[in-house]
Amino acid sequence: MIKIYHNPRCRKSREGLALLEKSGKDFEVVKYLEDTPSKEELRKVLSYLGISPEKLVRKNEAIWKENFRGKLLTDEEIIDAMILHPKLIERPIVVNGTKAIIARPADSIHSIL
């Protein structure tokens, strides 16, 4: 099952959702700001993406700048920060099986459909 981690207030996320809707494929929408992924789920997504937790962080968010920027954080601490503040998670993320992408630009979704 295809899954999109979606923030309805984000233009890029809405573009990704629209592309999935046009694809005709079944998919699940996870509004991750309301339904925050568990630590285990976030670790799994990171492994599918093949990136470190730091690469999934939106570093221009005020929460990051005010609380975390410039600090030496472990991967676990970064994951904990994203769970505590899901707004820090880059979006949209599209998962298909064991493959995932950060869908920026939205057209990159085609690569895992």
Catalytic residue among 4, 6, 8, 10: 10
Q: What is the pLDDT of residues 2-54, one digit of tens each?
A: 999 999 999 999 999 999 999 999 999 999 999 999 999 999 999 999 999 99
CB 88 within 8 A of CB 97: no
Distance CA 11, CA 72 (A): 31
Q: 95: closest CA among 103, 83, 107?
A: 103
What are 103's two structure tokens? 């869908």
pLDDT at position 104: 93
AA letter at 106: A
Q: Is 88 a catalytic residue?
A: no
* DSSP code, position 3: E
pLDDT at position 102: 97
99-102 and 93-96 beta bridge pairing: antiparallel
Look up the CATH superfamily of 2-112.
Glutaredoxin (3.40.30.10)
Per-residue confidence band for 70, with pLDDT thresholds at 50, 70 and 90: very high
